[in-house]
Structure 1
């Protein structure tokens, strides 16, 4: 019997009411499309086109350049304008392919061809997923064809579709489950073909009753697929929390979910698997939420990958009352990050633009004090770490203690410790910086 929740976690204001009941609308891009070559974990993709080339929607314009890498697919038809560095959501620049959209959306040959997945071999399924350029759409961006090919497929006991969507304000996965439950269950059935000893689980937080009902209806007659409603708690959608709830398993530093018999993918990724295998449709678009009290019309969109965030803001009617907000985030307020510009393009693993009138981080900085040693940060950590001690080691640059004694690299940067800290200390930001410095030293 699956559990309903995990150890630790917090209950932030979820902000779901802004967009949870707003149906999807399709947004067709107006400007150029920008395709960053490293919109996934692993080595950047290698361009297959040159300036001046004509491209079609669904065409591979950059190929995976390594074992952990992913193809980049043009989401429109048009002409390659440039291959140059362009701004990304992190405030730096990436080598990118810029395509001028001709507005015709002419499909590449073979895109849309229907296939019976049950007639395909394991290798054929994996090749279709790889060709489609699918990565983790929940934020991680890990190439999906790699995740679906563990060393021992027979050891996989659970294939989990993550529909928790616990990050505040974001509601596109909720809408995806309400409207495309058949394709999500179809994707899960395809994944189960790869793992003969596994059962499928669709995990959904209880604050999404419409999504739960929609998925339950579709899989009512499926013997190997179950819907598992779980308590509303952040970060319920984290891989570690999910494995704890469904499989009762914990992974150690350096381990992958497959090492404890689990494969976990976001519901958007699972749907993309279905579209790639059954419809021969590569990853060209995704669900996207624009929300917050700083926009006029919060919305859920189906957006072409490569569209600018400026257009996402336009789709939501611009800033509320025409006033510049204090905080603009790529993602949500817990695990998202402040955007230095809106000229950046939507990548495969970007699911939201959150616009807030007030900056809660700036307000917290005004109230910050020394550590009170209350221990609340340790009580809410879903990994069971001791953020108070980690912070002390990080501030002293005692990286050996941080990594070896306190297991600081296991931190998933969920922000629960920062959220609950009465001293308003920026713990997560400190841990992110410390991890970056340790990993940079290892690379050197």
Structure 2
């Protein structure tokens, strides 16, 4: 069974919503649409308070190459263009729309008819993806048109579709593979055409045998698309780990995935690409797993962007009495939600409710020099040392020890018997080290 070679952990999976079919979620009364739902520059609003908008209409345009368009997820009246609190409580620019129905823009095909053939040129495909505001749906939210624009001097040799979903609890990708497999395969064919590569691989961990079987059946007549079952190991869904698991090639330190000849896209992204190219549908909704061991009704919900997180939790039975924390994403790489009225965004893969008992950190003890954190680091780093140097602000040493290679998977903190907040300090040190590297490259900024 294929897999990546360095480190990793096998945490309890808790895929308690894996058998739950995707359910359409009701439209929000007010959709609060952030202008920064992607890596890169925030989009620039092109609507004003009082404007009437239709579902799928552009309400903010990309502010540069690494940016993404934003579209109205509902039809209604713009009631504000200002800053609203995000999930972390920070005020960020957004457009608020009071819903008055669901009147879509002309030209968007909302039927279930499968359209497989695509005769568009490479550039036409990339342009449609850019116009539709498609970003990485696995959580990273990197603009998809940027990933498909291979830099000069580099060459894409294969496409890898990420169906791993290695985070505990999350099941949205699993469900869309089962329910929208034909559309995903059509999206993969479009991505192959856009990249002009001969092959594609779909990586799926073997704890999803039904998804593996289904996707293999759909690709049986397509020898250029191979389903690759993978051993269960977190963080196999990381780009670098997935590339090694599938191709055997390692992304060099400080390098990019394209240095191995691979371009990685999430299964949700492939589905969104199909809808954008073949249906003219912009990215205005996504599947979100709402889950937790104490939650009354865990579910996979098809949710419009801008819907309050609180309403999803209420739909699933409300916050349990012993709820201690709400996580945006999975338990390993997700972030705590400080504001339940914050909206679902393009990068919201899951909402996880953790019990009070599991939400409280145990008191940190002294490092016992066991090196467990070193053994589980998938990047071959020394987390205990990086954490100590970060705490002491020794940034030159951190750079030399390649702290910027850290993918922030949290395996080190998870395995530490002394309950040290290793990743917390590493994140701080990495952020400052990156800032210093950027200031050296652009001293005038």
Cα offset, 1:152, TM superposition: 5.4
Unmatched runs of 5 consecutive residues or more in structure 2 = 440-444
Residue of structure 2 in register with 1:332 after alignment: 330
Residue of structure 2 in register with 1:277 after alignment: 277
Q: Using the alignment, how far apart are the partners of 1:111 and 1:359 within structure 2?
A: 47
Q: Using the alignment, how far apart are the partners of 2:380 and 2:32 within structure 1?
A: 40
Residue of structure 2 in register with 1:6 after alignment: 5
Q: Are residues 260 and 356 of structure 1, via their aligned partners in 2, closer, same or farther at CA, if it must alter by over 3 Å?
A: same
The reply on whether 1:234 has 2:234 as its aligned counterpart is yes
TM-score of the pair, normalised by structure 1: 0.95
SS in 2 for 1:119: coil
1:1-400 matches, within 5 Å, as 3-16=2-15, 18-103=16-101, 105-112=102-109, 117-151=117-151, 155-320=155-320, 323-360=321-358, 362-364=360-362, 366=363, 368-400=364-396
Q: How many equivalent residue pairs? A: 436
> Is the CA contact (8 Å cut-off) linking 2:27 and 2:74 kept in structure 1?
no
Q: Using the alignment, how far apart are the partners of 2:43 and 2:357 within structure 1?
A: 36
CA deviation string 1:161-218 (max 9, x = no partner): 1000000111111101010111111111111112334311111011111111111111
Q: Using the alignment, how far apart are the partners of 1:153 and 1:283 within structure 2?
A: 31
> Is the CA contact (8 Å cut-off) linking 2:129 and 2:273 kept in structure 1?
yes
Q: Using the alignment, how far apart are the partners of 1:276 and 1:149 within structure 2?
A: 17
Q: Using the alignment, how far apart are the partners of 1:407 and 1:91 within structure 2?
A: 31
Residue of structure 1 in register with 2:422 after alignment: 427
Q: Using the alignment, how far apart are the partners of 1:400 and 1:117 within structure 2?
A: 53
Q: Using the alignment, how far apart are the partners of 1:116 and 1:21 within structure 2?
A: 28
RMSD over equivalenced CA pairs, Å: 1.7
CA deviation string 1:111-134 (max 9, x = no partner): 118976531011110011001100
Q: Using the alignment, how far apart are the partners of 2:149 and 2:61 within structure 1?
A: 19
Q: Are residues 93 and 440 of structure 1, via their aligned partners in 2, closer, same or farther at CA, if it must alter by over 3 Å?
A: farther
TM-score of the pair, normalised by structure 2: 0.94
Q: Are residues 5 and 259 of structure 1, via their aligned partners in 2, closer, same or farther at CA, if it must alter by over 3 Å?
A: closer
Q: Are residues 31 and 276 of structure 1, via their aligned partners in 2, closer, same or farther at CA, if it must alter by over 3 Å?
A: same
> Is the CA contact (8 Å cut-off) linking 2:389 and 2:395 kept in structure 1?
yes
Q: Using the alignment, how far apart are the partners of 1:253 and 1:382 within structure 2?
A: 12
Unmatched runs of 5 consecutive residues or more in structure 1 = none
Q: Using the alignment, how far apart are the partners of 1:358 and 1:310 within structure 2?
A: 18
Q: Using the alignment, how far apart are the partners of 2:89 and 2:429 within structure 1?
A: 19
CA deviation string 1:261-313 (max 9, x = no partner): 01101100111001111111111111100001232111000000111101111
> Is the CA contact (8 Å cut-off) linking 1:153 and 1:195 kept in structure 2?
no
